[in-house]
Amino acid sequence: MTTRKQIRPFHTVLVANRGEIAIRILRTVRRMGYGTVAVYSEADRDSPHVRAADRAVLIGGAAPRDSYLDIAALIEAARRAGADAVHPGYGFLAENADFADAVDAAGLVFIGPSGEAIRAMGNKAQAKRLVMSAGMPCIPGYQGEDQSDEAFVHAAADIGFPVMVKAAAGGGGRGMRLVHEAAALTQALASARSEAEVAFGSGELILERAVVAPRHVEIQLLADSHGHVIHLGERDCSVQRRHQKVIEEAPSPAVDAELRARMGDAAVKSARAIGYIGAGTMEFLLDGEGRADAGPPQGGTTTSGGSDPRSGGARGPQFYFMEMNTRLQVEHAVTEAITGLDLVEWQLRVAAGEPLTLQQSELRLDGHAIEVRLTAEDVPAGFLPQTGPVLRWRPPVDGHDVRVDHGLVEGGEVSPHYDSMIAKLVAHGATRDEARRKLLRAIEHCVLLGLPSNQGFLADCLADAVFAEGTAVHTGFVQERFGTQLSERAVPGIRTIALAAFGALASKMPAQDVRQPIVASALGQRAARVTLAQGSARWEVRLQAQGAQWQATVRRIDAPADAAAHTLALRDARWNDAERTAFSAECDGMVESAVLALQADAVQLFHAGRAWSFERVSERKSRVAAGGGGAVTAPLTGRIVDVAVREGETVQAGQRLVVLEAMKMEHTLTAPIAGVVAEVCVQAEGQSSKGALLLRIEEAKA
């Protein structure tokens, strides 16, 4: 039985989310004069979103299932705090039909579509069937009720490889696998099912023909309760890694007015056909070459059905429906920038029963906007999610014409329980290149120290010549442009190394007036030596003080003996704050600035637009590797999903050993060497902390 959706005025809004999106929603809710309520888990007691609301309610433990996914706890929190409306944000329960129904049944206003609409579009298989009946073009594929491996193998043979395996109940790259050949399909199905179960609570899958080098373009919709539906243009989300968006922009460089009208019309008709209310997004793959890859239906597959979007003599690329997101999108800010509309405001107005006041013919797109997602990830390690302390967080707000949405605070921590996205930066300009330039400069001044992030990678993407030109970008852009470079760690320059060593030494000196140059009278004529390491690379830095002047000599000690040393002159070095977190110095005649964070055995430095992390070799903790190169340790804190080997089993290098789930993603760990499994330290469904020994392999003897 479907619960009737509550649409009426309200006075207090509970935001059933956390982090940057909770803060962003609370900002508009407060501006419109509503009361604000936040919720938080045990892990989020000190999070900024808790302090951003009039009141906040503890809803449970750190794990999402014990807090942000607990429907009863959220309804009770609204009751306790006196809230009569609930905004779900994105992620967690934002597209959970049972949650929307529960909110309505409790007599509260759900600021989003009805549970019925969420249910209709939340399952990719059902959604494709519904929009096809409204004339929407869809990629040929299989969305049958028979979920056996045999059914998928048969369907894939009919569709033709490569195929894309997708979770029917969700998106965001989770439960998605690209399969190039039949032999790899069964394993891909098992992995996708497992990840989909964890992320969405459903292991149902669909198959789609893989469209070669498409663009990912989506249409933003607004629909009121009076039958009025409009679109707000498109966003291009083609720059992705692991099927997850990295950079989004509006409008798309590949979409002209005629194509925008065709895509917008198809999206509006489909939304109207299901009686959609609220903000939502139709996502499409755009075939840049104008190819209609769809062949005739075969076996258990289905084709697009309906009318060809290029019918009536229209020319241009073909677009294919992928899915509908029945919520606010992460990238909604770029649409706000070019339309001048606050999408959260319109979500609130529609939920209260107000009609849309904007007609489709009145839509005007102003300039261009680009957004990047800052994530806590180790890029060279395959974009592996990271957790840890936020030692320094200095977003580029002063002097940079950018919007920064975040939920970070210095002294806080990035938790292993939630998504790895920690902030968004958005730039708007009269032209695409102006927006790109603004965003590039801003990300180069975005300081995050304490754990790895994709900050440098984002800067590289924005500076890339193909991205700057715009029209040749597609969903394979990252791999095509960076390839093996993604696994290579950036090498610091001599100035960076010298400043890192100087900062480490200067921070140990007695406190000095920040208005005065840093001096080291205690050293006298003696030189100090600081040895830094990054992976297998080591540098010795000799620092000689002469009053307010310093001489830094940098030598690579893991290089050949005759490798040249580099000497730099440092003058007028000063701390920029009393806490000694940032300093500047004239380095060989050019003033350099840096932000510093020290740990027991590490030096972290933000310099020249990048974050760098070095080990202090003299203070490095003794690390005796259990079993040498055969030790397999946890790259991050998480849950053990599967242990694929047993003690005494012979394994080959690269063989699958353990599957670890953390930050909503599965990570497969493989054997570093061939040999025999000598020790297994974990079991399925157990927990493991970052760095913990999972198993040990003894190398096979010749």
What's the pLDDT tens digit per position in 564-619?
A: 899 999 999 999 999 999 999 999 999 999 999 999 889 999 999 999 999 998 64
pLDDT score, position 702: 57
pLDDT, residue 664, reads 62
Q: Give the closest residue to 205 by CA, choosing from 168, 150, 179, 156.
A: 168
pLDDT at 352: 98
pLDDT, averaged across the chain:
89
Amino acid type, 52: A
Tokens found for residue 602: 């590490």
Asked if residue 377 has pLDDT above 90, the reply is: yes
Which pLDDT score, from 0 to 100, does residue 201 have? 81
Full strand arrangement of the beta sheet holding 229-241: 318-325, 278-287, 215-223, 229-241, 244-250, 368-375, 421-429, 402-406
- Residue 296's pLDDT is 32
> Does 214 sit behind a cis peptide bond, omega within 30 degrees of 0 on the bond before it?
no
Strand order in the sheet with 109-110: 55-60, 35-41, 12-15, 85-87, 109-110
pLDDT value of position 633? 87
**Statement: residue 444 has pLDDT above 70:** yes
Q: Is the dihedral of CA 458, 459, 460, 462 positive or negative?
A: positive
The two three-digit tokens of residue 398, written as one number: 């002063």
Which among 257, 204, 197, 198 is positioned nearest to 233, based on CA atoms? 257
Average pLDDT, integer, range 521-538: 79
Whether residue 234 contacts residue 338, with contact meaning beta carbons closer than 8 Å, is answered with no
pLDDT of residue 190: 94
Q: CB-based contacts of 491: which residues, under 8 Å, 6+ apart?
A: 537
> Mean pLDDT, to the nearest integer, of 400-415?
96
Residue 237 in contact with residue 216, Cβ under 8 Å? yes
- Token duo for residue 116: 């019925």
- Span 10-65, pLDDT tens digits: 999 999 999 999 999 999 999 999 999 999 999 999 999 999 999 999 999 999 99
Range with the poorest average pLDDT among 284-293, 478-487, 498-507, 512-521: 284-293
Q: Which residue has the tokens 């974009």?
A: 383
pTM above 0.75, yes or no: yes
| Backbone CA torsion sign across 224, 229, 235, 236 | positive
Residue 621 banded pLDDT, cuts 50, 70, 90: very low
Nearest CA to 322 out of 179, 119, 128 is that of 128
Pick the residue with more confidence: 696 or 100? 100
Distance between CA atoms of residues 688 and 692, nearest Å:
6
**Is the pLDDT at 315 greater than 60, yes or no?**
no
Q: What does the alpha-carbon distance between residue 556 and residue 558 come to, in Å, rounded to a whole number? A: 6
pLDDT over 90, % of the chain: 72
DSSP state of 302: B
Q: Which 3 state secondary structure label does DSSP give 153? A: helix
pLDDT digits (tens, 9 = 90+) for 539-573: 999 999 887 789 999 999 987 766 789 999 999 99
- H-helix segments, 160-312: 185-200, 257-273
Q: Residue 236 in contact with residue 436, Cβ under 8 Å?
A: no
- How does DSSP classify residue 675? E
Q: Kindly indicate the confidence band of residue 210, based on its pLDDT and cuts at 50, 70 and 90.
A: confident
Residue by residue, DSSP assigns 409-466 as: -TT-EE-TTS-SEEEEEEEEESSHHHHHHHHHHHHTT-EEESS--SHHHHHHHHH-HH
- Token pair 């209310």: residue: 277
What's the number of CA atoms in the CB half-sphere (13 Å) around residue 609? 13
Residue entry with tokens 């002097």 = 399
Cβ proximity of 567 and 649 under 8 Å: no
pLDDT tens figures, 115-141: 999 999 988 788 888 998 888 999 889
Distance CA 165, CA 178 (A): 6
Distance CA 130, CA 149 (A): 25
Q: How many angstroms separate the CA atoms of 443 and 213, rounded?
A: 27
Distance CA 44, CA 415 (A): 9
DSSP state of 559: S
How far, in Å, CA of 702 to CA of 700, rounded?
Answer: 6
Other CB atoms within a 10 A radius of the CB of residue 82 amount to: 13
User: Is the predicted pLDDT of residue 145 greater than 70, yes or no?
Assistant: yes
CB 5 within 8 A of CB 104: yes
d(CA 632, CA 513): 48
- When computed from its CA atoms, the radius of gyration of the chain, rounded to whole angstroms, is 27
Provide the 3-class DSSP secondary structure of residue 441.
helix
Is 247 in a helix, a strand, or coil?
strand
CB atoms under 10 Å from CB of 580, counted, come to: 18
Tokens standing for 145? 């009720």
Beta strands of 492-565 (E only): which ranges? 527-534, 537-546, 549-556
**Tell me, what's the pLDDT at 122?**
87
Beta strands (DSSP E) in 407-505 are: 413-414, 421-429, 447-449
Q: Taking residues 224-243, report their average pLDDT.
A: 96
The pLDDT of residue 522 is above 90: no
Confidence class for position 625, pLDDT limits 50, 70, 90:
very low
